[in-house]
Structure 1
Amino acid sequence: MTQAPTPTEDTVRRLVRSLLKDGTAGPDVRPVDESGGLTTWWVGSRHVLRLAPDRESAARQRRELRLREVVRPHLPVAVPVSVAHGEWAPGLTYTLDTKVPGGSAPEPDISALGEADLAGILTGLREVPVRQAEALGVPRAAPRSLGALRRAAGKAAERLARADEFDAGRMHQLTPAAPVQLAAQSGGAVLVHHGLTGAHLVVGADGRVRGVLGWADVVVGDPAEDVAALALAVGAPAAVRAATLAGYGARPCLRGLWLARCDSVVHLADRLSGRSDAALPDLRTQLRNAWEAILLERVTEFRGDDGGDDP
């Protein structure tokens, strides 16, 4: 197998100079953290260059470029625009995107109006025709088993308790019957961003959400996954309020909440045991965010297994 080339600053500078033909030496380029399997570079103050390091990433990037055009009309916030795209090496793609004004952080500071922006994002994703997305090659993802995740999280919680990181007794709030009550409903698949993290939410100084990045991992699947991602990023109350504003009922909101809580416990335990190299402060923040109490879980009781969302 041919070894894929490693992009260097000279590689990036030559590529950028050919794309931004303004008769000068070109803007400054500097690398940023890798995200989603793409090597990413700041280009001056107005552009971002992302290079696919392998053919799988290149295929996802080609799909992402098409998908962003489909999604854009449905969202109330900005989606990056590609001003140039092509191949930086044989079979390996690039896209030069405009920079969305604002900033991203592991724990974004979202205002009340920002929660309405999040609701608009969830609403817009649900409005994208599933057939149109699948025609672009967006894959389907089966809903995760909350029962299996509960069992894994229970074991992880015991490890965290021994490390004095978490009260394992809190997992008892997710009763053995709850995974059945909170099972994903058939026919409820929508377009799922699958990465509504702080790194992908562009937030202004006023706490409004200005844009959404990172469209390479989009799937057709369980909308509770995006609720879960928001719970980890902005806290459980804000995530559930946004999902409720977007028209989701108690069942997907609580399902997303418990996906986030179980994930936060498992991911932190994996990091402490050396099975992950994720940033420890970020994982502790996610654990705290996901386990914030919300009113909905205190007052909701489901009507058996009739599939309804009404408390």
Structure 2
Amino acid sequence: MTQAPTPTADTVRRLVSSLLKDGAKGGAGTAGPEVRPVAEGGGHSTWWVGTRHVLRLAPDRAAALSQRRELRLRDLVRPHLPLAVPTSVAHGEWAPGLTYTLDTKVPGGTAEEHDVSAVGEADLAGLLTGLREVPARQAETLGVPRTAPRSLEALRRAAGRAAERLAAADEFDPVRLHQLTPQAAVQLAAQPATAVLVHHDLRGEHLVVSADGRVRGILDWTDAAVGDPAEDIAGLAIAVGSPAAVRAATLAGYAARPCLRGLWLARCDTVVRLAECLDRRDAGPLPLLRSQLRHAWEAILLERVTELRDEDEDADAEL
């Protein structure tokens, strides 16, 4: 297999100069546009280009396939969402079989930099509502995969083992997991015929938040899937805190079951991820993972999952 080239600042500058046609647009005059790598890049090599653009380079063919799909998906979801979705001003190949997209920058910071306000929670509700309105079949024709719901019971057991490791490191009290009983995990299983388009990666860095707490845009749609809507509720719980996530989901019309399912997916996930990080003795992401665990374990009013019953689910949804 041919080794993919490693993009450098010169590689990026030459590519962007040919795309923008005017070095001044990139902010560096005749020397070409100013380019600098973005710290959070996910599966792509990502670069700031001046003050108005972001260049994302697919590092391998699998990422290139995802990026091509993402460009089509963004056009599909844009009319359904009240939030900005990045627009590609140019796209193509930066190396044989490896794609790029030059996107306009969505103004604002991230949910890791700014707290989401009450009005911002309404923005998130609009996101969840809009995703539910996107025709799932049409998304699948673009190549968006359909994913099966995860087993909350299996995740509960994995989190229980991880919690014991965290307890030994004085990071977490495993008693807190006892709220999610085996019976509750069964009650909170995903219901049939509830699959919708989900972003599936609603991390703090992918939520564009303004200084006043409004959510202005959603970035990086490469992991989107047709699947369990509780996964996006879980992502929001980790990114902005469980109370805000559950309030946003409730505003979007979700009842108690998917809200609680998302809550416990987030809680179990954060326990497992932090334990895995400690096992690897990798101190790099520890502050972020600890922050995510705190967000997911923030208390909400709707905590007594064992009392959830099918016949009065709507009544239990008073948060």
TM class, shorter-chain normalised? over 0.9
User: For structure 2, which runs of at least 5 residues remain unmatched after alignment?
Assistant: 24-29
Deviation at 1:178, TM superposition (A): 0.7
> What amino acid maps onto 1:33 in structure 2?
A
Instruction: Determine the structure 2 residue equivalent to 1:184.
Output: 190
Q: How many residues align?
A: 310
Structure 2 CA distance for aligned equivalents of residues 36 and 282 of structure 1:
15
Change in CA separation of 1:292 and 1:34 when aligned onto 2, cut-off 3 Å = closer
Deviation at 1:107, TM superposition (A): 5.9
Native 8 Å contact 2:242 2:296 kept in 1:
yes
TM-score by length of 1: 0.96
Q: Could you say what the CA RMSD is over the residues aligned between the two structures, in angstroms?
A: 1.6
Native 8 Å contact 1:191 1:223 kept in 2:
yes
Match of 2:129 among 123, 130, 136: 123
Deviation at 1:276, TM superposition (A): 6.3
Moved beyond 6 Å, runs of 4+: none
Matches within 5 A, 1:136-175: 136-175=142-181
Native 8 Å contact 2:260 2:305 kept in 1:
no
Change in CA separation of 1:277 and 1:54 when aligned onto 2, cut-off 3 Å = farther
Tell me the SS of whatever aligns to 2:2.
coil
Match of 1:35 among 32, 41, 48: 41
> What amino acid maps onto 2:112 in structure 1?
P
Matches within 5 A, 1:243-254: 243-254=249-260
TM-score by length of 2: 0.94
Deviation at 1:278, TM superposition (A): 5.6
**Greater share of residues in helix:** 2
Confirm or deny that 1:294 pairs with 2:311: no
Change in CA separation of 1:107 and 1:228 when aligned onto 2, cut-off 3 Å = farther
> What amino acid maps onto 1:18 in structure 2?
S
Structure 1 CA distance for aligned equivalents of residues 243 and 45 of structure 2:
34
User: For structure 1, which runs of at least 5 residues remain unmatched after alignment?
Assistant: none
Deviation at 1:296, TM superposition (A): 1.4
Change in CA separation of 1:114 and 1:166 when aligned onto 2, cut-off 3 Å = same
Instruction: Determine the structure 2 residue equivalent to 1:236.
Output: 242
Structure 1 CA distance for aligned equivalents of residues 111 and 284 of structure 2:
15
Question: Can you list the C-alpha shifts for 1:119-146, whole angstroms capped at 9, x where unaligned?
Answer: 0000000000001100000001100000
Matches within 5 A, 1:1-311: 1-22=1-22, 24-106=30-112, 108-274=114-280, 279-298=285-304, 301-303=307-309, 310-311=315-316
Deviation at 1:300, TM superposition (A): 7.5
Structure 1 CA distance for aligned equivalents of residues 225 and 187 of structure 2:
24
Deviation at 1:299, TM superposition (A): 8.0
Structure 1 CA distance for aligned equivalents of residues 314 and 32 of structure 2:
56
Tell me the SS of whatever aligns to 1:115.
helix
What is the aligned-residue identity percentage? 77
